[in-house]
Amino acid sequence: MNKLNIMLVDDHALFRKGLRDVIALQEDMRVVAEAVDGRQAIEMAVRAQPDLILMDVNLPGCDGIEATRAISERLESVKIVMLTVSSLDEHLFEAVKAGAIGYVTKNVSPEALIRNIRGVREGEAPLSRAMTAKILESFRAEKKVKAANRENSITKREAEILELLAQGARDREIAEQLGIAENTVKKHVQNILRKLHVNNRTAAAAAAASLAREKE
């Protein structure tokens, strides 16, 4: 398995060193770049092309939300996970809307951090139920799913896959449960992202849930 290339973005050198040391112990991942603020994060992301970015929400100057939005627009394949001191941080929701797929708290254990990182590689989104509910409410309130999306609506199979994604199921688990190939699941997920005009699986699940409620 190819190593997962990770970029660290945090303005505290000691915290970055701690993350770097934990990741260095893993055979399947490595740190390929670091940044201390949002602007540097954007530049380094374009240069290093990481698979995953661990991004602090609160950064000096260009903050983590602005950097996440800019990077998501430039690098569609990169996955961004926010680092926060509290899961109640009001900025987390904006970060997810900007393109982050989830978050981990800074007091998480090294073991839990590595599990989250590996989960992201498998297609999981480190996101609490409370945050998922907030995203759903936003999609309903802001009516993100518009008439144009209805004309290109998701299929019954795609709806089934989205429901399982929202439950935290991995592509492999979805394939087994629905009796289809894992590659087929991946293709469905890509079609879903395109149809709903979103850039990550978390937002896609939220949008689909909102659409399903509108049809009820």
* For range 207-215, the mean pLDDT: 54
Strand partners, 6: 31, 52
Closest CA to 59 of 74, 79, 45, 39: 39
Q: Answer whether residue 206 shows pLDDT above 60.
A: yes
Residues 93-134 have pLDDT tens digits of 788 888 888 888 888 899 989 998 998 888 777 766 666 666
Q: Answer whether residue 85 shows pLDDT above 60.
A: yes
Closest CA to 178 of 163, 190, 193: 163
pLDDT-based confidence at residue 147 (cuts at 50, 70, 90):
very low
What does the pLDDT read at residue 150?
A: 47
Structural domains of the chain sorted by starting position, each given as residue range(s) with its CATH number in brackets: 4-126 (3.40.50.2300), 133-215 (3.40.50.2300)
Phi, psi of 200 (to 5 degrees): -155, 160
What does the pLDDT read at residue 46?
A: 95
3-state class of 23 per DSSP?
A: helix
Average predicted confidence (pLDDT) for the chain: 82
Q: Answer whether residue 158 shows pLDDT above 70.
A: yes
Residues 14-69 have pLDDT tens digits of 999 999 999 999 999 999 999 999 999 999 999 999 999 999 999 988 999 999 99
Distances in whole angstroms, Cα of residue 133 to Cα of each of 15, 104, 123, 210, 213: 30, 17, 20, 11, 13
